Structure 1
Amino acid sequence: MAALDLSGKRVLITQSSTFMGPVLCKLFAQFGAEVIADERALLDPALPQAIVQAAGRIDVLIANLAIPAPTTPAVQVGDDEWRDAFAHMVDPLPRLIRAVLPQMIQRRSGKILLIGSASALRGMKRTSTYSAARGAQLSYIQAVGVEAAPHNVQINAIAQNFVENPTYFPLEVQANPAFQERLKREVPLGRLVTQQEDAQFAAYLCSDAADCFVGQVFPLCGGWVAR
């Protein structure tokens, strides 16, 4: 991974100040990319197009779209929670891709990577809203990835869980013996995937070395989905 070279690549990273955003911005810049960081939640339907127009040429789009996962039991989930999850994580995705994909098709070159969640790949209690939205993201990426492949544009997704993240796994949680036992019980790797490992894999998928992947979803969760 250390040999990756993203020099000359203009990379747009959404929600750049939350979840995986900061580490992605830092690592992509270290690999030589010109990072265009946008911190906003993309609730305004016109915002994705405006961001892309302002950025100009985009070689790589990192769709980092996330909210803290609700933990409401399914029978108690209301319409507002459901709509909010889809408004933050699902609705912006096709808007971003409609905005950026035409220029990539015209150049016959480009990468789009969704930072998704493995909650869409394995059932979890009290995550019905979140998992449904994450599943919609992955299904969309798989379909559009197949459409874009003949134009030499690669669209894929990372489905992560049990990755170092101050939102879900702050240091005090990681130090809790009960959480350490949970890791041993649920995650074959026996530890959290580091943010650096996650971001390095993202950088690889966005590099010229990864032109063969088409609409693929890569679990990055220490083996959690295999259990």
Structure 2
Amino acid sequence: MAELSLQGKRILVTHADAFMGPVLCEVLARRGATVMSSTDALLDPQAPAALVAASGQVDVLVANLAIPSPTTAATEVDEAEWRKVFAALVDPLPRLCRAVLPPMIARRAGKILVMGSASALRGIRGATTYSAARGAQLAYVQSLGVEVAAHNVQVNAIAQNFVDNPTYFPPEVQANPRFQERLKREVPLGRLVSASEDAEFAAYLCSDAANCFVGQVFPVCGGWVQK
């Protein structure tokens, strides 16, 4: 990993000011990539295609999509909450992929990496809307990954939880004694995975060294205690 280089690769990072965006841009650039960062919410159906068109050649798309997670009881989730979360996390993904994939397929080279959540892999009380949206992302990756693999395009996802980031674990949350006890109770590492650890793994998946992975979902969670 220390010798990994992304020299010459043009990488588009979405929601670059949220979730893993800031550290991803920093690490990918340090590894030699030309990073094109976007802070557009991508809620307009035409926005993803416009962003890709304005970015020029995209060798790697890092679909880093984020929205604060609602904590609504399932019986109280209304249409507005469901639509808002899916509009932010799910709807932009196929639109982005439809825009970047034809040139990648034509070049027989390209990667898409989705920064997802392990909430889709483990039941979390009070997170039905968010978990469902994150699960949709992962299902899309698994199917798309095997569909485009024959074109030498690799699509994968990181499903993370307990990873340091400003959207889901801001400083005030990390400083809370109850959260610190939760880490000790639920996470075998006893700490959050650092932002740089996660971003370095993402950089590896963006590199040619990871060409053998297609349609895979990689949990990055610091481990968790099964209940």
**Normalising by structure 1, what TM-score?**
0.97
Correspondences of 1:1-227 after superposition (within 5 Å): 1-224=1-224
Contact persistence 1:108–1:151 (CA under 8 A): yes
Amino acid across the alignment from 1:194: S
1:142 positional shift = 0.3
DSSP-derived class of the 2:209 partner: coil
* Counterpart-to-counterpart distance in 1, 2:77 and 2:89: 17
Structure 2 Cα separation of the partners of residues 157 and 19 of structure 1? 15
Give the Cα separation in 1 of the matches to 2:206 and 2:188.
27
> Post-superposition shift, 1:226?
5.5
Contact 1:72 1:126 in 2 (8 A): yes
Cα deviation, 1:3-28, whole Å, max 9, x if unaligned, reads: 11101000000011111111100110
- CA shift digits 1:49-96 (9 cap, x unpaired): 111111111100000111000000000000000011111110110000
Task: Map Cα deviations across residues 187-217 of structure 1 (whole Å, 9 max, x no partner).
Answer: 1111100000000000000101001101000
Cα distance in 2 between the residues matched to 1:26 and 1:225 = 32
Gaps of 5+ in 2: none
What percentage of residue pairs aligned between the two structures are identical? 70
Q: Is the 8 A contact 1:90 1:137 kept in 2?
A: yes
Alignment coverage as a number of residue pairs: 227
Moved over 4 A (4+): none
Q: CA deviation at 1:34?
A: 0.3
Q: Distance in 2 between matches of 1:35 and 1:176?
A: 35
Paired residue secondary structure (2:45): coil
Report the Cα offset of residue 225 of structure 1. 7.2
Aligned mates of 2:146, 2:217 — CA distance in 1: 12
CA distance in 1, matches of 2:179, 2:210: 35
Partners of 2:136 and 2:22 in 1: how far apart?
Answer: 25
Once residues 91 and 223 of structure 1 are traced to their aligned partners in structure 2, the CA distance between those partners, rounded to angstroms, is: 29
C-alpha RMSD of matched pairs (Å):
1.1
Question: Alignment partner of 1:111: what SS?
Answer: strand
What is the rounded CA distance, in whole Å, between the counterparts of 1:52 and 1:169 in structure 2? 30
Q: Which runs of 5+ in 1 are unaligned?
A: none
